[in-house]
C-alpha cells in the first residue's frame, strides 16, 4: 500500500519520475475483447503534453506511448496492459540547486521527512508527469465507458476570477482553446489574465469541472465505497487539488431542504429529477442524472519571483527557482480529471455487477 | 467490496440499519495493549446521540455500547474488537408510507435501483444511525492518537449564514453548545436561525471543520494514497457531505502562487512554515503543520412541508413526510467527522512505519 | 490487515474468542434478494457444534445464531449481514493454569511474541470456535451457489491410517456418521481407532476432502489470484491444516506428463476431459470438471498425557492439560472446509463477471 | 482484482506475455534507502534463465533486466520500482498450430472459456516466463531480508523418485547442479532419470523445498492472514504447483498429538522448540524455528509424444506439440519459490510493525 495502485477490479499501477528513464502504468482487470491501439491512448496523452502554447511550460516532450503487453491482434486479452512513455527532454541540471533546499508549496520537504532523501530532479515522483500513467489508463476507461453509452467530459471552469458562461458552452472548444475552456470568450480573457501573471513572475489557480452523462442509476456502494467518496479521493489524489465538490457542492451549506431537495418526476416513462442539486448521486449511489464534479486547483508552486525557505542544513535562505514551469496547472490537468473520473466510475460499475442475486443467476445459468 | 469495510491495517467494518435489531462495528488491526472500556466509547457516542436538545430529532435512544470481543483484562489483545448498540426506540409505523415512494434528497430511489428493493424503515442502511459504528471505532482511534500526542478536534464551522468567529474560539464550547460551535455567540444566533427554519417546516445546511494537531511530517503516501485524498474520501463517505476542502480549499482557485505558497522557516531548531495555506499536507504527505479539513453538509432532506415525488408505480404524487428528524445534520455529525479523520490518519501512520529501510532494521534487529 | 477479513466482493469479517461474550461474522457484499433465515445457517453450525458424540469434546454449546442486520422481510437487502452466537458454556477456570505457560502445538507462544500478552482462556482468538463465523458465512455462500447449480461437499477422507473406500461412497453418510466419513464401514473402524487413541491420552490427525461440482469453466484469475491459490490460502487458514492438495496433489511430483495430462474430449457437444488429474483447475482457472481439494489436519495439540514446555518465566516445566478437547479435529472441521471453499469460489465468480467486454455490454446496455 | 497484483504493503504487479515485447514488474512499497542495481536482480534472473543445460529448453534468452524507476543515486527512493526484460528469442511460428486447439494440461481452454480468446503464442500470459516479474521482485525482497538477518533458500527436493539425502546437503550445490539439488549425488541420478524421460518424449514432476531461517517469532496474522495461509497461496500461485506442505505437511494426518507436538525448551536463555514438526509456524504466526515449505510440481504439460485433444471447432483430434520445452519445471522454478516466499514474508513483517501499541509509541514519540 505504497500508494501507486488504484481500483478494485479495474486496477491501475503507475510508476516513473519526472527525470527518470520513463513513466508508465500497468492496467490490470481490463475486460478482454476491447479494440485498442497506441493511437487511442496518444490522443489523451496529447491533451496533457507540455509545450503546446505560450501558457504552458516550454519543456518539449513527445510523450509517445508504447503498448508492451495485454493486447493481441488488436484486442485486449484480459492480461495486464503495460504502457510506457520514455522521457526525452530531461534537463536535470536545472534542478541541481534544489537538491539542498525545500521549495515552498512543493513536496520536497515532506518526501524527505517520509523517506529520508528524495529524487529531487523535477520533483521526481511528485511531478505532474506522474499523471502520464493515469491519463494512459483513463483513455482506456473512457473508451470502454463510451461503448456503454457513457460520456466523461472535463474542462476548465474558471481561471482566477475568469469563469465560463454556461450560455456560451461549446463542447468543441474544450480541445481547441489554450485554456481547455468550453467558452471561447472566457478563454481569451483567461489567456490575458495568465499572460499578466507571467509578467509578474507569478502563477494562478483555477477550477476544473467534469460532467458524466449516461450513467445508469444504481452505481456505487453505500457507506465507505460511495461513488462520490471515491470520486472525491480520485480528484484529491491529483497533485494541487485542494477542494472537491459534487453537484451544488459548497453551496449546500447555505441552502435549505426545500430548495436543495430534487423532486423526482416522470419523463418518457422513466423516473428522473426536476433539478440536479445532488450532482447525480444520492446516498453514494448514482441517481441517473448527470454526475457533476468540481476540483479546485492551487496556483503552480514553482514561481520565478524570489521566495524564502530553509535548506537541509536548517538555514533560512532566499531562493529563485529556475526550470520550465506552467503559470497554471488547470488546462493540462483537465484530462487527468477526466481520466480519474472514468477509471473510478468504470471500476464501480464492474463491482456493481453482482449486487443482485438475479444478476448472478442470469449470468451463470 | 460492498463498501462497509474501511482501512488497510486499522480496518473497520460497520453494519446495521436504523430500525433493525442493532448496529455495530468490528475493528480489526487495533494494536494490542490499549486500555479500553465501554466508557471510552460511550462518551463519543453520546455526542451523536439523538434527543439532546430542541434542535435535534426527539427520537430517544440510549445508544449504549457493548464490547463483545477483543478486550481482555481491560486491554485490547490485537484480536478484532466487536462493538454493538441495540436499537430500542424504533417506531417503524412512521415509515409504512414511505415504502411505496421515493423521498427527495434520500437514497430510497438509488437503493431500489441498485438492489431491487430496500429496507425502507427509517432509511435502513442509509440512515444517519449507520454512523454509530464509525463513531465507536473513532473513539478508539482518537484514544490511540492521543497517546501519540495527536489531537483530533471537529466542530461546527457555520450553520446557514452564521459562521463562527475565530477570535471567539473556545474549545470547551464544542461539547457544551447545542450546535457544537466553539463560539458561544455564534451558537446563540445559529439556534435562533434553526428555530426559525423549523417553524417554516424547513431544514438548513452547514459546514464542519476538523483540526488535527501534533501530526509528525511524513504521513501519507504519494499518488493515490495521499493523506488528503483519503481524508476527502473519508469525509465524502459521510451521508449528506457534498464538498470537502483541505487548508485554504476552494480559495486556492482564486489565489496566486506568491500568496498561496507557504514559506518554510526555522522555529526552535525545527523546520516549520510561516503560514498554513496548505492545511498541513503537501504532495499528499503531512508537513507538520495542523491539518485543516472542512466538509459542507446539505440540509436534512426530511422536511415537513409538502414535496413532489414519484412512487414505485411511476405516478407523480405529493407527499408529507412524518417521523422524527433533525432540522440540521451538522451538530451531531461533527463527531462523525472527528472519527473518520482519526481512523484515516491512524491507518496512514501504521502503513507508514515501513517507509524507510532503516525503520525496518531498527525494528527487527 | 489484521487478518479477520476475507474476500474481495463477497467479504466476510469474523470476530470473537472462545471464552468471550460471543462470536460472529459480518458478511458484506452478499447479493440482494436471497431468501435467508436463521435456520439456513443453524443447520451448518450444528455440523460443527461440540458435544455430539463420544469422539468430540463434551463442552455443550447451543451455538444458536442470531441475524442482527441485512435481512428484511425474509430477504437479504445487499446491506451487511451481521450474525452472532453467544457463548454459554465457558468454564474459564479450566484455563487459569495455562496463563503462565506455553502449550506445545498451540499458538500461546506465538500470540505472546506478537502481541505481548494474550487472552489465554480456551485459546482465545486462536480457538477452533473462531470458525463459527466462517461456517455462518459459508452457509450463505453455499445457499447462493446451490441456486447457481453448484454443490460444495466436504467430508472426512481419512483418520490416521483409516481411509474411505471410493466404492463405498454414500453421500448421506457424511451427515450421519460420527466421523463425517461418507463410508460407513470406514467410519466404524475410525471410531475404534479414535477410542483407542483416547484411552492412550493421545490425539490423531486426518484428511478432509472437498468436491465442488457444477462450476462453469472460466472462474479464477491468472497469476496471483488463481482459483487454486485462493483455495489453498482458504484451507491453510483453517487452524491445524498443514498441507493442501488440488486434484492429484502430491502424486504429481512422481508422475509423468503423458500420465498426468488430461486429454480433452467431447461429451454431449460439450468440451470436457477424459480424466481429472488437474482437479478441475488449469492455469488457475476452473476447467469445468469437479474441483477436488484435500487438506491434511494435524492431531489435536491438546492431549492429556504429560508434556514438556516452558513458562513465561523461562523455566522448563512438565504440564498436564485439563479442559475439554476433541481427540481429532477433522469431523467438526469438515463443514469449515466446505464453508471456506464456498466463500472463495463465490467471490471468484463475482469478480469474474466483468472479465469480457461483451459481458459488461450485455449487463449495461 | 484481475490477479496480477500481490501484497499489502510490499506490493508487486507483474505483466507481460511469453511472446510479447517484454515482461516486467512494478514493486510498490519497497522501503527507501536500499542500495540496488541491475546486478542485484540479474543474479536471480539468471537462475531461472532458459537454455543453461541439456535438461532445460533450448530457447535462448538473455533476460537482461532494466531498472526504469524508483532508484536514484544507487538507492531506492520509496517510489515504485519498474523493472523490464525485453523478449528477444520469440519464435512465434512454433505456435501457429496451437491457436486452434487446446493443449492438454495447459491453460489454453480455460483462458478461452474466461476471456473468449487468448494470446496463444507460447502460452501468452500463462507461460512460465510470467515469473520473470516475480523473480525480479523476489531478488529485492531477498536483499532486504538478508539485511534483517533472514535467509530464504529454495532447492530441488526430489525429481520423480530421486530424492535428496539430508546427510549430503551442500548449500553451494544448489547453484551449481543442473537440477538445483543440494545433493550432488542425487543430482547425477536425477539427470540420468531426466535424460531417459526426454528420450521417451515425456516429462516428469518433482518437489521443491524452501527453508527460511532467522525469522523472529510473531510474524503473521491470525485467522485469514496466517503466514502459512499466505505462503500456501504464494506457492500455489506458481504455475504447475498442485500441493503445498508446511513443516511435516501431509505426514501430520497420520501422526499423533504426542508425536507431532513440539516441546518448548530453553536454549541460551531463549525460548525454542526441541523439534520442528510445525515447520516454524504455530497458529499462523512464526514461532522462531526455521520455516519449511514444500511445493509439488506437476510434469511439464508440453510433451513431444502424440496426444488427444479437441479443437475450437469441437472436433476430437491428435496433436504433436512442437516448440522448445523443459522436461521438468522444478530446477528453474526453485528461484520462483524462493522469490514468492521472500515477498510474502517481507510483506507480513511490514504489516506486523503496528501489532503492539508500544511499537507505535516507540516509533512516533
pLDDT tens profile C249-303: 999 999 999 999 999 999 999 999 999 999 999 999 999 999 999 999 999 999 9
**Surface of B (181-200) touching A: CB under 8 A:** 197
Mean pLDDT over residues B103-112, rounded?
A: 96
Contact B2 C24 (CB under 8 A): no
Backbone angles phi, psi at D142, to 5 degrees: -65, -40
User: Residue B286: which CATH number?
Assistant: 3.60.150.10
Chain A residue numbers touching D22 (CB-CB < 8 A): 68-69, 82
For residues D16 and A69, the answer to whether their CB atoms sit within 8 Å is yes
Chain B residue numbers touching D356 (CB-CB < 8 A): 31-33, 78
Answer yes or no: is pLDDT of B1 > 60. Answer: no
Mean pLDDT over residues A194-209, rounded?
A: 96
Contact B223 A110 (CB under 8 A): no
For residues C63 and C128, the answer to whether their CB atoms sit within 8 Å is no
Locus of grid cell 511460428: D93
Mean pLDDT over residues C320-338, rounded?
A: 91
Q: Name the grid cell of A158.
A: 474558471
Contact D113 C206 (CB under 8 A): no
* Cα separation, B276 vs B284, whole angstroms: 15
Contact C359 A363 (CB under 8 A): yes
Q: Considering chain D, what is the average pLDDT of its residues?
A: 95
Chain A residue numbers touching D140 (CB-CB < 8 A): none
- Neighbours of A (≥3 Cβ pairs closer than 8 A)? B, C, D
pLDDT of residue D89: 73
Answer yes or no: is pLDDT of B309 > 90. Answer: yes
**Surface of B (208-267) touching A: CB under 8 A:** 216-226, 228-237, 239, 242-250, 252-266
**Contacts across the A-C interface (CB distance below 8 Å):** 87
Backbone angles phi, psi at A108, to 5 degrees: -55, -50
Answer yes or no: is pLDDT of D20 > 70. Answer: yes
The predicted-structure confidence for B247-278, as pLDDT tens digits, reads as follows: 999 999 999 999 999 999 999 999 999 999 99
Pairing mode of beta strands B151-159, B206-213: antiparallel
pLDDT of residue A51: 76
Contact B6 A224 (CB under 8 A): yes
* Cα separation, C245 vs C154, whole angstroms: 14
pLDDT of residue A204: 97
Helix C131-147 / helix A357-364 crossing angle, nearest 10 deg: 50
DSSP state of D271: E
Give the residue from chain A lying closest to B298, CA to CA.
A252
Which one, of B79, B61, B70, B72, lies nearest residue B16 by Cα? B61
Answer yes or no: is pLDDT of A108 > 70. Answer: yes
Contact D22 A68 (CB under 8 A): yes
Backbone angles phi, psi at C48, to 5 degrees: -105, 0
* Cα separation, A257 vs B99, whole angstroms: 21
Which one, of C47, C46, C13, C51, lies nearest residue C29 by Cα? C13
> Higher model confidence: residue C230 or residue A324?
C230
Answer yes or no: is pLDDT of B42 > 60. Answer: yes
DSSP state of A306: -
pLDDT of residue D90: 67
Give the residue from chain A lying closest to B11, CA to CA.
A224
Give the residue from chain C lying closest to A364, CA to CA.
C148
Chain A nearest CA to D145, separation (Å)? 19
User: What is the SS3 string spanning B6-24?
Assistant: ECCCCEEEEEECCCCCEEE
Contact B314 A271 (CB under 8 A): yes
pLDDT of residue D188: 97
Chain D residue numbers touching A22 (CB-CB < 8 A): 68-69, 82
Answer yes or no: is pLDDT of A340 > 80. Answer: yes
The vertex-B102 CA angle with B99 and B105, nearest 5°, equals 130
* Cα separation, D9 vs D353, whole angstroms: 11
Chain B residue numbers touching D32 (CB-CB < 8 A): 355-357
Answer yes or no: is pLDDT of A40 > 70. Answer: yes
**Residue C92 pLDDT class (50, 70, 90 cuts):** low
Chain C residue numbers touching A144 (CB-CB < 8 A): 357, 360
Answer yes or no: is pLDDT of B57 > 90. Answer: no
Q: Name the grid cell of C145.
A: 451457489
The predicted-structure confidence for A123-180, as pLDDT tens digits, reads as follows: 899 999 999 999 999 999 999 999 999 999 999 999 999 999 999 999 999 999 999 9
Locus of grid cell 503495460: A82
Give the residue from chain C lying closest to A9, CA to CA.
C351
Give the residue from chain B lying closest to A118, CA to CA.
B356
Mean pLDDT over residues D86-109, rounded?
A: 83
- Neighbours of D (≥3 Cβ pairs closer than 8 A)? A, B, C
Chain C residue numbers touching D115 (CB-CB < 8 A): 355-356
pLDDT of residue B91: 63
Pairing mode of beta strands C5-6, C11-16: antiparallel
Q: Which domain holds residue B287?
A: 5-364
Percent of chain C with pLDDT over 70: 98
Chain A residue numbers touching C8 (CB-CB < 8 A): 8
**Surface of B (15-74) touching A: CB under 8 A:** none
Answer yes or no: is pLDDT of A93 > 90. Answer: no
The predicted-structure confidence for B177-193, as pLDDT tens digits, reads as follows: 999 999 999 999 999 99
Which one, of D259, D209, D261, D206, lies nearest residue D231 by Cα? D209
Chain A residue numbers touching D118 (CB-CB < 8 A): 72, 77
Please list, in sequence order, all residues whose beta carbon lies within 8 angstroms of the beta carbon of residue A51, skipping any fewer than 6 positions away: A57, A58, A59, A60, A61
**Residue A1 pLDDT class (50, 70, 90 cuts):** low
Query: In whole angstroms, how far apart are CA D138 and each of D6, D26, D41, D240, D292?
Result: 12, 12, 8, 19, 18
DSSP 3-state of A22: strand
Range of weakest confidence among B125-129, B221-225, D186-190: B125-129
Backbone angles phi, psi at C209, to 5 degrees: -130, 150
Which sign, positive or negative, has the C-alpha torsion A175, A176, A181, A183? negative
Please list, in sequence order, all residues whose beta carbon lies within 8 angstroms of the beta carbon of residue A92, skipping any fewer than 6 positions away: A19, A121, A122
Contact C115 B32 (CB under 8 A): yes
pLDDT of residue A2: 83
Range of weakest confidence among B91-100, B153-162, C335-344, D47-56: B91-100
H helix or E strand, kind and range, residue B333: helix B330-351
* Cα separation, D166 vs D182, whole angstroms: 9
pLDDT of residue A322: 81
Answer yes or no: is pLDDT of D91 > 70. Answer: no
Query: In whole angstroms, how far apart are CA B181 and each of B45, B170, B172, B188?
Result: 18, 9, 10, 10
The predicted-structure confidence for D99-154, as pLDDT tens digits, reads as follows: 899 999 999 999 999 999 999 988 899 999 999 999 999 999 999 999 999 999 99
Chain A nearest CA to C221, separation (Å)? 9
Q: Name the grid cell of B312.
A: 414505485
**Residue A351 pLDDT class (50, 70, 90 cuts):** very high
pLDDT of residue C325: 80
Give the residue from chain D lying closest to C127, CA to CA.
D283
- Neighbours of B (≥3 Cβ pairs closer than 8 A)? A, C, D
Number of domains in chain C: 1
Which one, of B62, B239, A2, A153, lies nearest residue D8 by Cα? A2
pLDDT of residue D92: 58
Q: Considering chain B, what is the average pLDDT of its residues?
A: 95
Mean pLDDT over residues C222-231, rounded?
A: 98
H helix or E strand, kind and range, residue D361: helix D357-364
DSSP 3-state of B318: strand
**Surface of B (96-155) touching C: CB under 8 A:** 111, 114-119, 121, 124-125
**Residue B92 pLDDT class (50, 70, 90 cuts):** low
Give the residue from chain B lying closest to C81, CA to CA.
B15
pLDDT of residue A173: 97
Pick from C9, C33, C82: CB nearest B16:
C82
Range of weakest confidence among A166-180, B48-62, C166-180, C287-301: B48-62
Q: Name the grid cell of C259.
A: 500420465
Query: In whole angstroms, how far apart are CA C189 and each of C74, C184, C185?
Result: 44, 9, 7
Contact B5 C20 (CB under 8 A): no
H helix or E strand, kind and range, residue D337: helix D330-352
Which sign, positive or negative, has the C-alpha torsion D317, D321, D327, D328? negative
Chain A residue numbers touching C349 (CB-CB < 8 A): 360, 364
The predicted-structure confidence for D212-251, as pLDDT tens digits, reads as follows: 999 999 999 999 999 999 999 999 999 999 999 999 999 9
User: What is the SS3 string spanning chain C?
Assistant: CCCCEECCCCEEEEEECCCCCEEEEEEECCCECCECCHHHHHHHHHHHCCCCCCCCCCCCCCCCEEECCCEECCEECCCCEEEEEECCCCCHHHHCHHHCECCCCCCHHHHHHHHCCCCCHHHHHHCHHHHHHHHHHHHHHHHHHHHCCCEEEEEEEEECCEECCHHHCCCCHHHHCCCCCCCHHHHHHHHHHHHHHHHCCCCECEEEEEEEECCCCCCCCCHHHCHHHHHHHHHHCCCCEEEEEECCHHHHHHCEHHHHCCCEEEECCEEEECCCCCCCEECCEECCCCEEEEEEECCCCCCCCCEEEEECCCCEEEECCCCCCCCCCHHHHHHHHHHHHHHHHHHHHHHHHHCEHHHHHHHHC
> Higher model confidence: residue A88 or residue D209?
D209
* Cα separation, D239 vs D227, whole angstroms: 21
Q: Name the grid cell of B169.
A: 474560539
pLDDT of residue A148: 98
Answer yes or no: is pLDDT of D283 > 70. Answer: yes
pLDDT of residue A325: 80
**Contacts across the A-B interface (CB distance below 8 Å):** 391
Chain D residue numbers touching C6 (CB-CB < 8 A): 223-224
Amino acid at each position: 500500500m505504497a500508494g501507486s495502485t488504484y481500483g478494485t477490479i479495474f486496477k491501475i499501477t503507475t510508476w516513473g519520475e519526472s527525470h527518470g528513464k520513463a513513466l508508465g502504468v500497468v492496467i490490470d482487470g481490463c475486460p478482454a475483447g476491447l479494440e485498442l491501439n497506441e493511437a487511442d491512448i496518444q490522443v489523451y496523452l496529447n491533451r496533457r503534453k507540455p509545450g503546446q502554447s505560450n501558457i504552458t511550460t516550454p519543456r518539449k516532450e513527445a510523450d509517445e506511448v508504447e503498448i508492451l503487453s495485454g493486447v493481441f491482434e488488436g484486442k485486449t486479452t484480459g492480461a495486464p496492459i503495460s504502457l510506457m512513455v520514455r522521457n526525452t527532454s530531461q534537463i536535470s541540471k536545472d534542478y541541481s540547486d534544489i537538491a539542498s533546499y525545500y521549495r515552498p508549496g512543493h513536496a520536497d520537504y515532506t518526501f524527505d521527512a517520509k523517506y529520508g532523501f528524495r529524487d529531487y530532479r523535477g520533483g521526481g515522483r511528485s511531478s505532474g508527469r506522474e499523471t502520464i500513467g493515469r491519463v494512459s489508463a483513463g483513455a482506456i476507461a473512457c473508451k470502454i465507458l463510451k461503448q456503454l453509452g457513457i460520456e466523461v467530459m472535463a474542462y476548465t471552469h474558471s481561471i482566477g476570477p475568469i469563469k465560463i458562461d454556461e450560455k456560451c458552452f461549446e463542447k468543441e472548444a474544450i480541445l481547441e482553446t489554450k485554456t481547455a475552456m468550453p467558452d471561447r470568450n472566457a478563454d481569451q480573457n483567461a489567456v490575458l489574465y495568465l499572460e499578466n501573471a507571467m509578467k509578474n513572475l507569478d502563477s494562478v489557480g483555477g477550477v476544473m469541472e467534469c460532467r458524466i452523462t449516461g450513467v445508469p442509476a444504481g452505481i456505487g456502494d453505500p457507506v465507505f465505497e460511495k461513488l462520490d467518496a471515491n470520486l472525491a479521493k480520485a480528484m484529491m489524489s491529483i497533485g494541487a487539488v485542494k477542494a472537491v465538490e459534487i453537484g451544488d457542492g459548497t453551496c449546500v451549506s447555505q441552502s435549505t431542504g426545500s430548495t436543495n431537495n430534487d423532486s423526482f418526476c416522470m419523463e418518457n416513462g422513466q423516473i428522473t429529477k426536476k433539478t440536479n442539486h445532488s450532482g447525480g448521486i444520492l446516498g453514494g449511489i448514482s441517481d441517473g442524472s448527470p454526475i457533476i464534479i468540481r476540483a479546485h486547483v492551487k496556483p503552480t508552486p514553482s514561481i520565478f519571483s524570489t521566495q524564502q525557505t530553509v535548506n537541509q542544513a536548517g538555514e533560512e535562505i532566499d531562493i529563485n527557482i529556475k526550470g520550465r514551469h506552467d503559470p497554471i496547472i488547470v488546462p493540462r490537468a483537465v484530462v487527468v480529471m477526466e481520466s480519474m473520473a472514468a477509471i473510478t466510475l468504470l471500476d464501480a460499475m464492474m463491482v456493481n455487477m453482482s449486487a443482485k442475486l438475479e444478476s448472478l443467476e442470469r449470468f451463470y445459468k
